[in-house]
Structure 1
Amino acid sequence: MKKKLGLLTLLGAASGQAVAQSNVTLYGLVDTNIEYVSNFSAIPPTQQGFPGPSRNRFAMASGGLSGSRWGLRGTEDLGDGMKSLFVLESGFSSDDGRMQQGGRLFGRQAYVGLQRNGIGTVTFGRQYTSIFNALSDFSPTKYGSQYEPLGLQLGLNYRSDNVVKYVGSFGGLTANAYWSFGNGAAGAGEVAGQFRRDTGYGGALSYAEGSFGATAVYDQYNPTLSATTGATGSFRKFAVAASYEAGPAKLMGGYRWGLNKSATDAILLRDDYYWVGINYKAASALTLTLGYYYDDVKNLAGTKVKNPWQLSFIADYAFSKRTDIYLTTAYARHSGLNFDTSAINFANGYYLAAGKNSMTGVAIGLRHRF
């Protein structure tokens, strides 16, 4: 159960008037599972001989459907339709207790902002980009962290530092735009005299009315590609998606165009990414999800590779509003799971063994919200 903490309790120094006007919520989620993965490389990508021979892996993992986290969020009514707000959110691995996002205390989100009725919300700090927010309602697995190709779909900057973001809702239409002064998660961040370095920006328009929803979004990230010179590339993405609800079923699909270029304007990756999926409420406590993902890789640093595709399935049974048990599975072809090795090469990816062309993952887990 979410716990409402007055500022007097949280800080030990707030006045009675402040407590009456403000509130802070402690919240969190713990998600842990047991996982089996086939055709996993026995040699890590950082070692000589990668990819290595095929091995099956059994392990405990954190974040099957949702990344484990805890956080604080709060608001204060400033009067005249205005309020201030903040969010501090920390990610952790529930299997070993380690902090995520490079060991940051509040690596998932850390921002403060103002909201005005009829105008919208402006926030400042580490937060999600517009492309993440815009496509979240059109993800078959609701951004299931274990088996969805999020990095390829959204870009490595989908959670960025030093962001100012605006979100406004006007009837069924939502406008969303952001600017990052420098993403330090994967680059140097803000550097004097190098304004463009690691910057990012984007915007989205989304529509939801009744059973229909749609969105269009653009995102650009200018990452540091040379730590010595500070030279930057340009990673551009444009996506459209739509969904339709019919009785117990929700159908969705989308397309994402992508073009990543080096500092010399050479193509690092040009691809067209597609996905379709369905959520089906089979019973009051049981939800079934099926998702299909396909990446048409036009150019990968001057080469043509086999186009990877992945099929994902989830059966999620809710014991209550706070606790559920799930089975999540995925099968990938021409790549490791989540396309990690085919295009963006995540350091913690599902690396396909030498001589293998497919990978299967199966996990059974338990998720609890508080």
Structure 2
Amino acid sequence: MKTKKKEIIVGSLVGLASSLAHSQSSVMLYGEIDNGLHYQTNVGGGKAIYMDSLDGIDGSRWGLIGKEDLGGGFKAIFTLESGINVNNGQFAQGGTAFGRQAFVGLSSDAYGSLTAGRQYDMVWYFPEFLAGSAAVGDLPGGHPGDLDNVGNSVRFNNSVRYMSPDFHGFSFGAEYSLGGIPGDFTSTSGYSIGAGYTHGPLQIGAAFDYFKHPTSTPGSGWFTAYASGFNLLANSLNSAYQVAQAYQDAVVAATYTIGNAAISASYSNVQYANLGLSFRNGTAVFNNYDIGLSYRITPAFSVGVMYDYMNARGVTTAQGNIVGNQHYNQAAFLVDYLLSKRTDVYFSGGWQRASGTSSTGAPAVADIGGSGDSSNNHQMIYRLAIRHKF
């Protein structure tokens, strides 16, 4: 679900430079506060009840979108967007100040846009909101470990991105993240491409991400693009694959709307390649399938359900053992009620069961949406929350 953006004149924003307060320039202030009570089983061998504002349907954030008319159909644009941990006042995204987005560039209705900074990948722009998991939201509908980034765990740092205009329902985009270390300019670099098509009730989206040497120092690389050093390879699902020399992710999703109902589905293929001598230079492969259904019962009341299945092809260690042959089954639901156009309350829940052997060689454990290792192979998460958009 996309956040609603409220456009206001620059002069009404106290503290903004007066040089921006022209009739051709504007800033859009927007945001969302999504805070709720989480109940989670099998955390450290027990149950956990805690407040959470990060793992809701969209995740709490605030941002500014600015534009200036340059003439000839061109505009200068920028976006600054920060995740918020409402319960302690800290930044989200591993403590990164503008961890969601921070970029500047040029746009044209005729030619598209070219921007540079910290940006979403093409998975976010094209297939993410069409996947079955979108019928429920982030947690508890997140794919196991969020390996395919459909839960939007990571962004591209130091990136240049082009987004096309709409061509009769078809659009596309491409993005390149500059890396480089002394002697190897392409190290820690990556790219993302994607496309989407809308025709009547049908929407289709696809994207492909690739990163070379995805594990690096804090603040760079694909898995470590957080200032705090937060690492998306921290859990047993994929933690042994930190030695991977390349990461790639292909996602395709589609939604078909029938009256008040929408059926969604997605498929993703994730690969950790060139795992080195410890894994005989093998490749770990994950395949994820999901399907979801959302239905608006009344203008204010809607429900959603989803089912997800992921399997992983095992890899052979230098000692001849096969690890990583994992299987995950997951189901989730959402009940949402609008109190107004900008405020809603919702209740969601999910269950996951894992089987097989994790990347570390130990028995596989549950990991809903990258929330962390369960203390055994199954887990439940429930969330009761209020959400306000501005």
**Deviating more after overlay: 139-148 vs 68-77:** 139-148
Matched residue SS, 1:144: coil
Q: How does 1:190-209 map to 2 (within 5 A)?
A: 190-209=180-199
Shift of 1:363: 1.1
Instruction: Give the C-alpha shift of residue 225 in structure 1.
Output: 4.4
Q: How does 1:63-82 map to 2 (within 5 A)?
A: 63=54, 64-82=56-74
When residues 263 and 316 of structure 1 are mapped into structure 2, their CA distance, relative to the original with a 3 A threshold, is: same
The 1:153/1:348 distance shift into structure 2, 3 A limit, reads closer
Q: 1:299-356 deviations in whole A, cap 9, x for unaligned?
A: 2564143401211101111111110000010000117xxxxx9599899733211xx3
CA displacement at 1:154 relative to structure 2? 2.3
1:45-89, CA deviations, whole angstroms, 9 ceiling, x for partnerless residues? xxxxxxxxx201111111321211111111111122111111001
Question: Aligned partners of 2:369 and 2:204: how far apart in 1?
Answer: 33
How far apart are the structure 2 equivalents of 1:343 and 1:123?
40
| Preserved contact between residue 292 and residue 306 of structure 2 (Cα < 8 Å) | yes
Q: How does 1:267-286 map to 2 (within 5 A)?
A: 267=282, 269-286=284-301
1:248 matched to 2:260: yes
CA distance in 1, matches of 2:354, 2:112: 44
Report the Cα distance in structure 1 between the residues aligned to 2:369 and 2:202, rounded to whole angstroms. Answer: 38
Question: Per the alignment, do residues 263 and 226 of structure 1 end up closer, same or farther by CA in structure 2, a change over 3 Å counting?
Answer: farther
**Residues 1:154 and 2:176 are matched in the alignment:** no
Give 5+ residue unaligned stretches, structure 2: 222-242, 317-321, 356-362
5 Å-filtered alignment, 1:1-370, equals 2=6, 4-6=8-10, 9=13, 13-15=17-19, 18-41=21-44, 54-63=45-54, 64-142=56-134, 144-147=137-140, 148-149=142-143, 151-154=146-149, 158-168=154-164, 169-182=166-179, 190-225=180-215, 233-262=245-274, 264=276, 266-267=281-282, 269-299=284-314, 302-334=322-354, 349-353=371-375, 356-370=376-390
Shift of 1:146: 2.2
How high is the TM-score relative to the length of structure 1? 0.84
- 2: distance between equivalents of 1:201 and 1:195? 14
Q: Larger deviation: 91-100 or 314-323?
A: 91-100
RMSD of aligned residue pairs (Cα, Å): 2.9
Q: Could you tell me which amino acid in structure 2 is paired with residue 136 of structure 1?
A: E
Given residue 209 of structure 2, which amino acid in structure 1 is its aligned partner? D
Paired residue secondary structure (1:131): helix
Q: Return 173-182 or 260-269, whichever deviates more.
A: 260-269
Q: Which runs of 4+ in 1 moved over 6 A?
A: 343-348
Tell whether the 8 Å contact from 1:202 to 1:218 is kept in structure 2 after alignment: yes
Instruction: Compare 56-65 and 215-224 and name the one that shifted more.
Output: 215-224
Question: Deviation string for 1:237-262 (max 9, x for gaps)?
Answer: 22222221111111011111221113
**Residues 278 and 30 (structure 1 numbering): CA distance in 2 closer, same or farther, change over 3 Å?**
same
**Counterparts in 2 of 1:6 and 1:358: CA distance versus 1, 3 Å:** same
* Post-superposition CA distance 1:182-220 (Å, at most 9, x none): 3xxxxxxx4343222211112112110110111232211
How far off its partner does 1:272 sit?
1.2
Aligned residues: 342
Contact 2:133 2:291 in 1 (8 A): no
| Distance (Å, rounded) in 1 between the aligned partners of 2:293 and 2:386 | 22
Q: 1: CA distance between counterparts of 2:301 and 2:63? A: 28
**TM-score scaled by length of structure 2:** 0.80
Counterpart-to-counterpart distance in 2, 1:121 and 1:276: 32
Shift of the 10–192 alpha-carbon distance from structure 1 to 2, 3 Å rule, reads farther
Change in CA separation of 1:333 and 1:318 when aligned onto 2, cut-off 3 Å: same
Alpha-carbon separation, structure 2, partners of 1:330 and 1:69? 24
**Deviation, structure 1 residue 158:** 4.0
> Identity of aligned pairs, percent?
30
**Aligned to 2:284, what secondary structure does the other structure show?**
strand
SS in 1 for 2:18: coil
Q: What amino acid does structure 1 have at the position aligned with 2:53? A: S
